[in-house]
Structure 1
Amino acid sequence: MRRQRKAAPVTLSEEDGLRYLHFGTEWIQGGMRMARPFALELEYQRQMMAVGLFLPEPRRIVQLGLGAAALTKFCWREVVSASVVAVELSLDVIETARAWFCLPPDDARLNIVNADAREFISHPRQRGLADWLQVDLYDAAARGPVYDDVAFYRACRKTLRAPGVASFNLFGASFDPSFAAIASAFDDRVLVLPEVDAGNRVVLAIVGPPLAVPFAALDQRARDLEARWKLKARGWVAGLRRANTFGARFEL
């Protein structure tokens, strides 16, 4: 499943201690604070970790799209219960992440796969293997996800075991049709987090048995994650309550 290099050039920029990845345009495809290379610098990337509210001890994490490897590095270092598989089509992106963004070499828990994301998750061998799926697939122009149809999102659903949870980064004007496609594929078991300043919106999708969790329990789990990951997880719970409709407890 190995692929040739993509035509879009991989370029870098630096400003105020941050190093950014671009695909030959001004759009930021990832970033790293050089003094803290394993931290999640961008807010939407932190929100992608909200999957931990619902499944805090995954065994296998699959990520579609590597970018500057921020999520990959963070999960490899902080989510020690899990192996991490990151799928990236561009060999240039993989090499840049290793040379300029401190992506570690593969080991017993980390596997970087040079492959097409759709082909990878559509393969029968990938069905029901992932506890978390994190999807961040944008091209150089950032017009919308590279794959954005119901069939693709159904393949995403099939790669999750039950229970399992996925997070999707969406951006800009493509949000409504993308959200509708994800909701269709996941039988409307979807949640949205509030939009961040850069325009990103993270969607969570869940498979498995119905969930019914008191918000006090969800808040406690968020506190536990804050202690482990040093991320503002209680803000995710508050954001979910603002951006979605619930009764006295979380039900999905």
Structure 2
Amino acid sequence: MSTSDLDDLIACNLMLESLAIWRERARQGQAELRSPYISDIGDMRSLHFDGHSMQSEMNLLDPIELTIDYTRMMMGFLLFDPRPRRIEMIGLGGGSLAKCCHHLLPDTDITIVEINPAIIAFRDQFQIPRDDDRFRVLVGDGADFVAQGGSRPDVLLIDGFDEFGQPPELCSAEFYDQCYRRLAPGGVMIVNLWGGGHLNRRYAARVARSFNGSARSVPTEAGFNQAVFGRKDAKLVLSQADIAATAALFQQRQAAFLPQIGNRISRRIDHHLWERAVHLVEDRLRKAEVE
């Protein structure tokens, strides 16, 4: 398949996804998870479910580097909590987020839940750390895991996908409510949403409702993904001082992206506040005209 053919196929599937056609139609009659596979091109190793989408990517020369923009955006939780005690992740993929957290946060307890054992079987090929007393990969259903009581993570990262996109169990209003309940006070959740269209706007709205409005959606550079931030019992605010302080804590080259990510998140928050202020002024003017 040529590069242009691949680009056309990706664009086609993005369009169908935005129309809510591709996922539902493809799910009919599907009872088993499709077997994932790995491809190597030059120094890059990728994880796939099929020939038209890439689930994860690793630079063989720097396995900790985050090569895809949405993974860098999801590490934006560091700007709100640079020293979390406990992180939980739903979805392993090629382990990009897991490896970066393990590298940058040596004192943090990290648990990853992955439903597909075939994904976990690739952990050595993607140089994912072995399980120990602070790092573990569990086989299980992410929605069931979140619904359980017990742990109160400071950070909850939702990056669970199959070959059809976000499973319905991981983007329902009930699921986001359970994420909110599971988090520690002040905890941060980030959800990776893929594709465009009304479905993702609906999912982002559900996060906002579950987190009492303390949520923002930040698109990736290419626009194919968006990271939805939610914070429990705390305002989602980010100042330039916060960004600078966090960047100063992480001098590793794998964290050099934090200032740029922080500025994008901050602009998104500020834009939302500006829009809200405009709406409040408009509402007051309309009320004054009625009176």
TM-score with structure 1 setting the length: 0.87
Aligned twin of 1:17: 43
Q: 1:138 aligns with which of 139, 149, 161?
A: 161
The structural deviation recorded for 1:12 is 1.2
Amino acid at match of 1:12: I
The structural deviation recorded for 1:41 is 1.5
The structural deviation recorded for 1:96 is 1.1
Q: 1:34-78: CA deviations, max 9, x gaps?
A: 111122111110110100111110011000000001111111121
Distance 1:86 1:143 in 2: 17
> 1:25·1:140 contact (CA, 8 Å) conserved in 2?
no
Distance 1:16 1:183, change over 3 A: same
**What does residue range 63-82 of structure 1 map to in structure 2 within 5 Å?**
63-82=89-108
Distance 2:143 2:174 in 1: 10
> 1:46·1:231 contact (CA, 8 Å) conserved in 2?
no
Local SS of the residue matching 1:50: helix
Aligned twin of 2:88: 62
**What does residue range 186-225 of structure 1 map to in structure 2 within 5 Å?**
186-197=211-222, 199-210=224-235, 215-225=239-249
What percent of counterpart residues are identical? 25
Residue 197 (structure 2) pairs with residue 171 (structure 1):
no
Distance 1:91 1:58, change over 3 A: same
Distance 1:135 1:104, change over 3 A: same
Distance 1:45 1:97 in 2: 18
Local SS of the residue matching 1:21: strand
The structural deviation recorded for 1:204 is 0.9
Local SS of the residue matching 1:227: coil
The structural deviation recorded for 1:226 is 4.9
Residue 183 (structure 2) pairs with residue 160 (structure 1):
yes
Larger CA Rg, structure 1 vs 2: 2
Distance 2:236 2:266 in 1: 15
Q: 1:30 aligns with which of 56, 59, 69?
A: 56
Residue 83 (structure 2) pairs with residue 52 (structure 1):
no
Residue 65 (structure 2) pairs with residue 39 (structure 1):
yes
> 1:167·1:203 contact (CA, 8 Å) conserved in 2?
yes
Q: 1:69-95: CA deviations, max 9, x gaps?
A: 111111112111201100000111001
Q: Which has the higher strand share?
A: 1
Q: CA RMSD in A?
A: 2.2
Unaligned runs of 5+ in 2: 1-31, 275-291
Distance 1:204 1:247, change over 3 A: closer
Distance 1:176 1:62 in 2: 24
Distance 1:143 1:169, change over 3 A: closer
Distance 2:233 2:93 in 1: 29
Residue 131 (structure 2) pairs with residue 106 (structure 1):
yes
Local SS of the residue matching 1:118: helix
Q: Which has the higher helix share?
A: 2
> 1:136·1:145 contact (CA, 8 Å) conserved in 2?
no
Amino acid at match of 1:158: R
Residue 160 (structure 2) pairs with residue 121 (structure 1):
no
Pairs aligned (count): 240
Aligned twin of 1:3: none
> 1:85·1:111 contact (CA, 8 Å) conserved in 2?
yes
Amino acid at match of 2:187: G
> 2:38·2:47 contact (CA, 8 Å) conserved in 1?
yes
Q: 1:163-186: CA deviations, max 9, x gaps?
A: 211111111123211111111111
> 1:194·1:240 contact (CA, 8 Å) conserved in 2?
no
